[in-house]
Structure 1
Amino acid sequence: MSQVLFASVDDIEAAFYDAFNRGDLEALMALWSDADEISCVHPGGTRLIGLAAIRESWKQLFEDGMRLRLSVHHGLSHTSPMLVVRSVLQHIVIEGEDGMPPPIIATNVYARGAFGWRLVMHHASPSPETGNYLDDTPRTVH
């Protein structure tokens, strides 16, 4: 299988959320680096390390049958020539349910390599049940 070249982080991030929304495991996994120490944390989940564990977690999520749609807002980036860290709010709509739950706070880390940009870490956490999620007021948590 040939690797798709992602020339920009915007391209690979768009491909990530598109693959998620379509429930396309192969397209989603093609975005990950083949490095040994890639990691993924799903909301409320444990830290998964390596392609096999990450693949299995996404496979289970997609096979669950629940149709989720993600949209991404309020992205913040830290950029260097070889690494980009993005913090975003993921708004999830669950097919068949009314209302919108609080957003998920996600951090995506991308590294530039031989095949352009690749995902090396995805960490998603539930946000608090209350508060204004859209303002940029700094908050001290710990």
Structure 2
Amino acid sequence: MYVQLSQIDGSEVKSDRNSALDALIDFYNAFNRADLVGLKAIWAEGEAPSMDNPVGGIRRGWKSIEDGYSTLFSGVAKVHVAFHDFTSQGGSDWHLFVGRERGKCETPAGSIDLAIRTTRWFVVAAGSWRLLHHHGSIDDPAMLREYQRMVLGETNRTTGS
């Protein structure tokens, strides 16, 4: 199955058929509301999940991923994104979404527009769709530096910690 879909930011009406698309909507709803409980409900449990993105680096296991989200959500930067220009393909127990996120990162000192290449891989676990892997990349080096500075702070930008 291969389908071209529209923008997703978490405000869409779900099908309520326990679909991978509903899980994607749940992810963006939780992320854009900085809802850790909601994110935990959508991510796979244990050590299997992985994430690689511009501000979190490579994280393996839900606990490490949760720590990354906690850092983002407890900081001064507020990030809101929408997934767009994406494709969707999968089978009965896996689904892959590949596309782009656009959005904004805002702090009291200013804001930047974001453009991120994004992949989200969902699998069925314990009867529901769970996010197993996320990869995000920012192509523009200046945008990447500014985003990292805004989210991680000036001292963390160069050390990666």
Shorter-chain TM range is: 0.7 to 0.9
**1:39 and 2:43 equivalent?**
no
Q: TM-score of the superposition, structure 2-length normalised?
A: 0.69
Counterpart of 1:123 in structure 2 is 135
- Distance 1:99-1:65 versus aligned 2 partners, 3 A rule: closer
Query: Which structure 1 segments of 5+ residues have no match?
Result: 130-142
**1:100 and 2:116 equivalent?**
no
Counterpart of 1:114 in structure 2 is 126
| Amino acid in structure 2 at the alignment position of 1:73 | H
Contact 1:40/1:54 (<8 A) preserved: yes
Counterpart of 2:32 in structure 1 is 21
Identity %: 26
Aligned residue pairs total 124
Match of 2:64 among 43, 47, 53: 53
Counterpart CA distance in 2 for 1:43 and 1:7 is 30
**1:10 and 2:30 equivalent?**
no
**Structure 1: 4+ residue segments shifted above 6 A:** none
Counterpart CA distance in 2 for 1:59 and 1:6 is 30
Q: TM-score of the superposition, structure 1-length normalised?
A: 0.78
Contact 1:6/1:116 (<8 A) preserved: no
Counterpart CA distance in 2 for 1:95 and 1:41 is 22
Contact 1:69/1:92 (<8 A) preserved: yes
Counterpart CA distance in 2 for 1:100 and 1:77 is 25
